[in-house]
A and B are shown apart, each in its own frame.
Chain A
Amino acid sequence: MTVTIQEIRRIAALARLRLERGEARRMARDMSSILEHMTVLGEIAPEPARTSGVPQREGSTRLLGDASDGGGAPAEGARTMPDPLERPLSRIAPDWRDGLFVVPRLPGVAGTPGEPDGSP
């Protein structure tokens, strides 16, 4: 197999997926077989660096609130207004207290509000 169970576990941890033992084995097998079909990609001659995964581009990037957009009237009205929320977040959030989303305490970061290790 090209993909080992250990690798599947590493990838699953990155993707925050929990796999039961049998599931991990099955995934390793499926992925190995799928990736075997991908080896033909090695035949493709590399082109100069690609800039994006998006195939068709016309002109330059359209920017929010750009006068030089040149694209005529906004199609859906106020283009620079935030789309309003038609349902309160309290009815969407699984756990909502005092206007805040709530999750179980993160380990090891208590006491340093505003300085999460994940923040840029």
Chain B
Amino acid sequence: MKDSPLEAVIGLEVHVQLDTGRKLFCADSTAFGAPPNTAVCPVCLGLPGALPVLDAGAVDLALRAALALECTIHPISVFARKNYFYPDLPKGYQISQFERPLATRGAVELDNGRRVRIRRVHMEEDAGKSLHDRFASATAVDLNRTGTPLIEIVSEPDLRSPGEARSCLQHLKRLMEYLGISDCNMEEGNLRVDANVSLRKRGSERLEASTEVKNLNSFSAVEKALGVEIKRQTRIRAEGGAVTRQTLLWDAAGGNVRVMRDKEDSQDYRYFPDPDLPPLVLSAARVASLRAGLGELPRAKHERFRRQYGLPAYDADVLTSSRPLADYYEAVVACGRQPKTVSNWVMGPVLKTVKRGIADLSSPGLAPGRLAELLVLVDEGTLSATAAKTVLAGMARTGDPPGVIVRREGLMQVREDQVLARWVTDVVTAHPEEVARYRDGETRLLGFLMGQVMRASGRKADPRRVNQLLRAALDADAG
């Protein structure tokens, strides 16, 4: 593509499920995996006479997303009905925003510094689920998902390669996760991506017929499918043909795209303002308070972490992936610990504990002050690194402070020379053959003898001091 006279023009349409825990127009749960058709009520079933009422929590999350994407928020936006028939669409229309969306004209900046313009962010409800393989020659419908709150983020066609599209998507995902807007679980369909693709002469501004590729449900799918589709369009043009407006479905298994429908016979959705829902009027105060609550966004935070704490990019990436994690890290550092040491501990043992579900970052046992206390014990040599990990696990499990656990479990590092010397003497006495070989110049046996001392100490001996004492013992007797 680099040397080709053509360049790709790619825009993304991303659906993100809002983590409110309930539906957009009724109070049913959106928890994943409930038995089919149990998280439903008259409203999301579309029963005669039922009416939608907009959930305030979803509005706030959608606004956060729009603000984080630097959008203009519209003080009045309007819900519209998109009319079409489908078995998993109970009302025969989807409530979405059309002519007057929540927000427009935003931007995201990619890692390569390019800015991708965001055309719009709007709110809408999800459809249910059609199961085509459940019964022979029948389609089954589960409406648990119906009414799940979504935002749709539409980018301008500013992306120029599959790699950029992937990078843009990763950036969006990171932002949504960081702000607690969505868990972006792609397997559960909480982040879904469609892409518009066309080719044009490099440098040209002309709009060419584009295709829409659907079913891009992983980062690699986005990159692969766009690569395949760009190749397909390149081939068509090379053969003198014309690309037609089509909707294509990415088949991950086959590694190709297939035509879902021609755009020319696309549906007439008959959008009109939903008369059941008054226009959404946002007070300036509501928007301002959400804007203030947004705080530093992940990209800025990432840069600051690298600069202020001297962290490698990888560390900054991990630590700024969510706001609670970033705040936690900074709180521990603020207790006076060395930033890189804290980073190692947070990314390693702390996150491992959290992932195993033993505790979370807000558990008292893992409070930043407690972790800092633990690191002090390591720094001053009271605890070995291995013992400290055991203590951390204990802190997470019991909520006790590190000092208490260290005393209770006798994990304090032994540094008294008298005690250490006795273990050293015992080992030297017990292994005369190895000692002799060491003294004959086979110095690598020092490691073996060290290991024996540590074992004798129950791993509590201060290894640095043991090393010194052991060398002294071996060398002294040789003289």
Asked if the two chains touch in their complex, CB atoms less than 8 Å apart, one says: yes
User: Which one of A61, A63, A81, A85 has the highest number of Cβ atoms from chain B below 10 Å of its Cβ?
Assistant: A61
Q: Quick check: A82 and B27 within 8 Å, CB to CB?
A: yes
Q: Which residues of B (287-322) have their CB < 8 Å from a CB of A? A: none
Residues of B contacting A66 with CB < 8 Å? 56
Which of A62, A114, A118 is B189 in contact with, Cβ under 8 Å?
A114
Residues of B contacting A100 with CB < 8 Å? 36-37, 131, 134, 140-142
Residues of B contacting A39 with CB < 8 Å? none
Q: Quick check: A102 and B135 within 8 Å, CB to CB?
A: yes
Q: Quick check: A104 and B139 within 8 Å, CB to CB?
A: yes
Answer whether A82 and B28 are a contact pair too, CB < 8 Å, given A52-B278, A120-B94: yes
User: Which one of A85, A101, A102 has the highest number of Cβ atoms from chain B below 10 Å of its Cβ?
Assistant: A101
Q: Quick check: B27 and A80 within 8 Å, CB to CB?
A: yes
Residues of B contacting A114 with CB < 8 Å? 129-131, 189
Q: Quick check: B54 and A61 within 8 Å, CB to CB?
A: yes
Q: Which residues of A (72-96) have their CB < 8 Å from a CB of B? A: 80-85, 89
Q: Quick check: A51 and B78 within 8 Å, CB to CB?
A: yes
A61 to chain B, nearest CB (A): 5
| 1/0 contact string of B26-68 vs chain A (CB within 8 Å) | 1110000001111011110100001001111101000000000
| Complex Cα spacing A117 to B53, Å | 27
Answer whether A65 and B37 are a contact pair too, CB < 8 Å, given A53-B275, A111-B132, A111-B133: no
| 1/0 contact string of B250-263 vs chain A (CB within 8 Å) | 00000000001100
Q: Quick check: A57 and B86 within 8 Å, CB to CB?
A: no
| Complex Cα spacing A61 to B52, Å | 12
Which of B43, B140, B275 is A97 in contact with, Cβ under 8 Å?
B140
Which of B40, B56, B132 is A65 in contact with, Cβ under 8 Å?
B56
User: Which one of B25, B137, B139, B152 has the highest number of Cβ atoms from chain A below 10 Å of its Cβ?
Assistant: B139
Residue of B nearest to A13 (CB): B268
Cβ of A37 under 8 Å from chain B? no
Residues of B contacting A84 with CB < 8 Å? 41
Residues of A contacting B260 with CB < 8 Å? 117
Answer whether A119 and B278 are a contact pair too, CB < 8 Å, given A65-B57, A105-B137: no
Q: Quick check: A113 and B131 within 8 Å, CB to CB?
A: yes
Residue of B nearest to A50 (CB): B273
Residue of B nearest to A112 (CB): B132
Residue of A nearest to B285 (CB): A68
A64 to chain B, nearest CB (A): 4
Q: Quick check: A97 and B135 within 8 Å, CB to CB?
A: yes
Cβ of A41 under 8 Å from chain B? no
Residues of A contacting B281 with CB < 8 Å? 59-61
- Size range of the chain A interface in the assembly: 35 or more
| Complex Cα spacing A14 to B84, Å | 8
A65 to chain B, nearest CB (A): 5
Taking chain A's interface residues, is the majority helix, strand, or loop, or is none over half, making it mixed?
loop
User: Which one of B40, B130, B260 has the highest number of Cβ atoms from chain A below 10 Å of its Cβ?
Assistant: B130
Cβ of A54 under 8 Å from chain B? yes
Residues of B contacting A61 with CB < 8 Å? 54, 277-281
Residue of A nearest to B269 (CB): A14
Cβ of B100 under 8 Å from chain A? yes
B260 to chain A, nearest CB (A): 6
Q: Quick check: A118 and B278 within 8 Å, CB to CB?
A: no
Q: Quick check: B138 and A103 within 8 Å, CB to CB?
A: yes
Residues of B contacting A48 with CB < 8 Å? none
| Complex Cα spacing A105 to B76, Å | 42
Which of B76, B150, B275 is A120 in contact with, Cβ under 8 Å?
B150
Q: Quick check: A104 and B137 within 8 Å, CB to CB?
A: yes
A69 to chain B, nearest CB (A): 8
Give B residues with C-beta under 8 Å from A.
Answer: 15, 22, 25-28, 35-38, 40-43, 45, 50, 53-57, 59, 76, 78, 82, 84-89, 94, 96, 100, 124, 126-127, 129-135, 137-143, 150, 152, 189, 214-215, 247, 249, 260-261, 268, 270, 272-273, 275, 277-283, 286
5 contacts between A and B (CB under 8 A): A53-B275, A98-B36, A102-B141, A118-B86, A120-B126
